């Protein structure tokens, strides 16, 4: 089964069925919904999604979406562990701390990252699908 990691905006655009979601990323989410792929969600993505939702005036019902994600078989939550900080140097081409956390999960799982983030894509630290 194919495995992927998602970043925050990609997950939000999926939840909103937004046209901002690329065709390739949407295809991955569709495969996951059909049971032929898994999408890992780093815990920092949930935190960023929560605050992004508040910033954008509650565009999703966060509690409801969070519960649906947690109960879904297509998504797997990945916690951030203290030892993960030791990987930050390996991800130093990625400038933002939260993005380093997300990239760290993709590196650890050896899974492509679903992201539009140009800094992450340019870093060549992980395979990016967009």
pLDDT level of residue 58 (50, 70, 90 thresholds): confident
Whole-number Å distance between alpha carbons of 78 and 118: 23
**Helix or strand or coil: residue 128?**
strand
Q: Which two tokens stand for residue 78?
A: 């990945």
pLDDT digits (tens, 9 = 90+) for 71-84: 999 999 999 989 89
CATH code of residue 75: 3.40.50.1010
pLDDT level of residue 1 (50, 70, 90 thresholds): confident
β-partners of residue 2 are 37
pLDDT digits (tens, 9 = 90+) for 85-102: 999 999 999 999 999 999
C-alpha dihedral sign at 32, 110, 78, 91: negative
The total number of structural domains in the chain stands at: 1
Residue 109: what pLDDT? Answer: 96
In which domain, by residue range, is 87 found?
Answer: 2-129
């Amino acid at each position: 089964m194919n495995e992927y990691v998602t970043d925050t905006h990609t997950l939000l655009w999926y939840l909103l069925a937004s046209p901002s979601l690329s065709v390739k990323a949407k295809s991955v989410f569709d495969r996951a919904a059909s049971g032929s792929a898994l999408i890992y969600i780093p815990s920092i993505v949930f935190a960023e999604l929560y605050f992004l939702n508040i910033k954008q005036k509650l565009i999703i019902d966060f509690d409801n979406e969070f519960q649906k994600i947690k109960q879904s078989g297509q998504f797997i939550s990945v916690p951030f562990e203290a030892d993960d900080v030791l990987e930050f140097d390996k991800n130093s081409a990625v400038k933002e701390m939260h993005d380093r956390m997300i990239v760290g999960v993709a590196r650890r799982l050896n899974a492509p990252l679903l992201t539009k983030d140009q800094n992450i894509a340019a870093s060549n630290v992980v395979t990016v699908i967009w």
